[in-house]
Amino acid sequence: MRLGRVAHARSGDKGSSANVAVIANNPDAYAFLKEYLTAEHVSNYFRPLMPASVIRYEVPNLHAFNFVLSGVLAGGGSRSLRIDAQGKTLGQAILQLQLPIPENLLSMEIIET
């Protein structure tokens, strides 16, 4: 299942690092993502961009997570030669991440259509 079916995202730059916020569509989706959307999973997904580290912060009152991807912007907006030197597309990119979906969650209607 594509992450974008149960959440939306925003992203931006912090120097050479980026933050990616993932906001679950509802409380059930948040509970599912809390288990499956780990810092390790996000780090592996963005491996081609070579983040030095990925830290996940939980924001339960918003049903959200904030991921800080250290060093992922290769110097940041004023120094990087990357097409997206400010990390604005990382939020859209993470929504393509594939996650397993247990059968019991299909009946919980966590998936927005």
pLDDT in tens, 29-56: 999 999 999 999 999 999 998 899 999 9
Does residue 84 form part of some domain? yes
Task: Please report the pLDDT score of residue 87 as a whole number.
Answer: 64
Does residue 111 form part of some domain? no
Does residue 107 form part of some domain? no
Q: How many residues does the chain have?
A: 113
Does residue 109 form part of some domain? no
Does residue 19 form part of some domain? yes
Does residue 43 form part of some domain? yes
Does residue 7 form part of some domain? yes
Domain that holds residue 17: 3-101
Does residue 37 form part of some domain? yes
Task: Please report the pLDDT score of residue 71 as a whole number.
Answer: 87
Q: What is the pLDDT of residues 68-112, one digit of tens each?
A: 999 888 665 555 555 554 567 889 999 999 998 766 666 555 665
Task: Give me the number of domains the chain comprises.
Answer: 1
Task: Please report the pLDDT score of residue 78 as a whole number.
Answer: 58
Q: In this structure, what token pair is assigned to residue 106?
A: 């299909």
> Do 77 and 13 form a contact (C-beta atoms < 8 A)?
yes
Look up residue 105 and give its amino acid. Answer: L
pTM (2 decimals)?
Answer: 0.84
Task: Please report the pLDDT score of residue 24 as a whole number.
Answer: 95
